[in-house]
Structure 1
Amino acid sequence: MFVINDHHTFEQLKNITSPENVMKDEYLYKHTYTRLGGKADFYVTPETYEQVQAIVKLSIKENIPFTLLGNGSNLIVKDGGIRGIVLNLGRLADINIDGTKLVAQSGARIIDVSQKALSHSLTGLEFACGIPGSVGGALFMNAGAYGGEIKDVLESAIVVDTKGNLLHLAADDLDLEYRSSNIPDKGYIVLEARFSMKPGTYEDIKAVMDDLTFKRESKQPLEYPSCGSVFKRPPGYFAGKLIQDSKLQGKQIGGAQVSLKHAGFIINLDGASATEYINLIHFVQDTVKAKFGVSLEREVKIIGEDPVE
């Protein structure tokens, strides 16, 4: 059984990476877009693929729980935090261009990847110019916006499997569908993505990105912490419209509020707890189901433990 704050584990993790890349009892609200979440026993930020493999193998050998955090954008961490090792790949953030191919490490922001494509007049990732997640997270959920999605441009990926093996996979191997992939089921950790782009005109690409940025900034409550769009689009409906028609905009539970600007967003208005935020999600789901008979499925992932009473 894993012992919380085990000194032996702490030393092993520091030896794999470096002392500055391992933190004990780190509050995860510091690392999530919602500004929610309790403590991680060990918060680790590796700098190489080999370090990621070694950490996975350590977790297997020592039977330590293991969680990949991503960059915390499409995620709610519960108030009780996360036991064991929490991995953040934010230090793996290189982006490189090879002709019409763009290779990005998983910790790079997908927004930055779209900007890199623009700087080389490559088209295909304009839709991603406002998506707040990392490359790894974008593959994890086949992120998309404004009619585009990752599966449209992804060629291949490098991942680590649950045994710590490095795998080179084609895009088809990831079963990318609407807001989903097989990455969570397989337990893959994405390390790198290779995108197939097309030559374009800088001015045309920038015009599209500027237009999408304006639409996003004018319609979304970006001035408050949130997890972005909370719910998937139900077949034949729009989640935001259903919530709006349920008269739920402005509804609050504690410090969490259904946004007045965009009904599909729940914001951390005033020091919300994760429990309040999650309870508001459930309230919205129950209300829409009762009023319209439509089940709203969460797009956001909820992880971690409930707080100890």
Structure 2
Amino acid sequence: MNQYKEFSTKLYNILDINNIAIDEPMKNHTSFKVGGPADVLVTPQNYNQVVSVIKLCNENNIPYYIVGKGSNLLVRDGGLRGIVVKLTKLDNITVEGEKIVVQCGADLCKVSDAALENKLTGFEFACGIPGTVGGAVTMNAGAYNGEISQVIESSLVVDKSGNLLTLNKEELELGYRMSAIQKYEYTVLETTFKLVYGEYEKIKQRIDDLTKKREDKQPLEYPSAGSTFKRPEGYFTGKLIEESALKGFSLGGAQVSEKHGGFIINKDNATASDILNLIAHVQHTIKERYNIDLDTEVRIIGED
């Protein structure tokens, strides 16, 4: 029996019934299309609801997980005990001169579109990153020589006690796939980006070029979580994997992409265990061959 069903009734004082789901399969909420059930999944529609849910979880000693589109997430087959707080309904984008104020659940590609429409440059690198702003800030997401730290001004966050904090760029402690958000387990609610005016056609051309490069080089036709591994200093992960003859290697329904060695894909109805076993095999092979530790970029949570 779902041990948090009784607790879930308390959520009805905060959220509409349509924003609460019991025993919700996480495969429906991750780009890998795998993952067992979450005891309770909620979709807040405003900041007060997010804060109230976090406070309620803490007061009742209930674990909670913050997710967006699940594009950098692998949930194990046993699912998640506790509450999943999915923030994709918080997706407003407001342009204020050279600044764009964005709620955490907004797609990065839509922020890129808004920048283009307003002739703002600097956000083109993110046009193909499939996640949300909250996740992108949390991991300082980047692509094609650009990253969030280059364009961010500040973020409104909530801490584990339910307190609201506004953190400037320095306070966010943005590093390679790291931030104060991870370090202190904050939740991003809203972010302000500072861009500069540019020429519409040049911005559009850059976006078109990056989109084509992504379509040509990445296995977008299969479920995945993007780049599976972090890049070891001084090396390119895809090259290490390709030189180790791992491209195309499969375990169960999971495969190292034949198109890009840095991607593990759900090729044929993979389970989370298939993907985890393949990740472990790649890590072991690279360690044996190069004495390099490959750390995962994808966030792995849940029970086996």
TM-score for the superposition, normalised by structure 1? 0.97
> What are the Cα deviations for residues 65-106 of structure 1, in whole angstroms up to 9, with x where unaligned?
111122200110000100111000000000010000100000
Query: Of 120, 131, 137, which aligns to 2:118?
Result: 120
Aligned positions of 1:77-92 closer than 5 A: 77-92=75-90
Q: What is the distance in 2 between the residues matched to 1:92 and 1:171?
A: 22
Indicate if the aligned counterparts of 1:143 and 1:179 stay in contact, CA closer than 8 A: yes
Amino acid at match of 1:85: I
> What are the Cα deviations for residues 107-164 of structure 1, in whole angstroms up to 9, with x where unaligned?
0011111111011000010000000010000001000000000000000000010001
Amino acid at match of 2:204: K
Q: What is the distance in 1 between the residues matched to 2:34 and 2:217?
A: 23
Query: Of 163, 166, 174, which aligns to 1:165?
Result: 163
Q: Report the secondary structure of 1:261's partner residue.
A: coil
RMSD across aligned positions (CA): 1.0
Q: What is the distance in 2 between the residues matched to 1:15 and 1:39?
A: 23
How far the C-alpha of 1:8 sits from its partner, in A, is 3.5
Q: What is the distance in 1 between the residues matched to 2:124 and 2:282?
A: 32
> What are the Cα deviations for residues 202-237 of structure 1, in whole angstroms up to 9, with x where unaligned?
000000010000000000000000010011111111
Amino acid at match of 1:80: G
Partner of 2:234: 236
Partner of 2:283: 285
Q: What is the distance in 2 between the residues matched to 1:203 and 1:6?
A: 53
Please, which runs of 5 or more residues in structure 1 have no aligned partner?
none
Indicate if the aligned counterparts of 1:100 and 1:199 stay in contact, CA closer than 8 A: yes
Amino acid at match of 2:53: I
How far the C-alpha of 1:5 sits from its partner, in A, is 4.2
Q: Report the secondary structure of 2:49's partner residue.
A: helix
Indicate if the aligned counterparts of 1:4 and 1:84 stay in contact, CA closer than 8 A: no
Partner of 2:175: 177
Partner of 2:54: 56
Larger mean CA deviation between 127-136 and 59-68 belongs to: 59-68
Query: Of 206, 209, 212, which aligns to 2:204?
Result: 206
Q: What is the distance in 2 between the residues matched to 1:102 and 1:7?
A: 39
Q: What is the distance in 2 between the residues matched to 1:284 and 1:106?
A: 33
Q: What is the distance in 2 between the residues matched to 1:140 and 1:176?
A: 9
Q: What is the distance in 1 between the residues matched to 2:62 and 2:38?
A: 13
Indicate if the aligned counterparts of 1:226 and 1:268 stay in contact, CA closer than 8 A: yes
How far the C-alpha of 1:294 sits from its partner, in A, is 1.6
How far the C-alpha of 1:165 sits from its partner, in A, is 0.9
Q: What is the distance in 1 between the residues matched to 2:5 and 2:190?
A: 32
Please, which runs of 5 or more residues in structure 2 have no aligned partner?
none
Indicate if the aligned counterparts of 1:14 and 1:21 stay in contact, CA closer than 8 A: no
How far the C-alpha of 1:296 sits from its partner, in A, is 1.2
Q: What is the distance in 2 between the residues matched to 1:116 and 1:29?
A: 30
Q: What is the distance in 2 between the residues matched to 1:5 and 1:86?
A: 14
Partner of 2:40: 42
How far the C-alpha of 1:7 sits from its partner, in A, is 4.2
Residue identity (%): 53
Number of residue pairs aligned between Structure 1 and Structure 2: 304
Q: What is the distance in 1 between the residues matched to 2:83 and 2:118?
A: 38
TM-score for the superposition, normalised by structure 2? 0.98
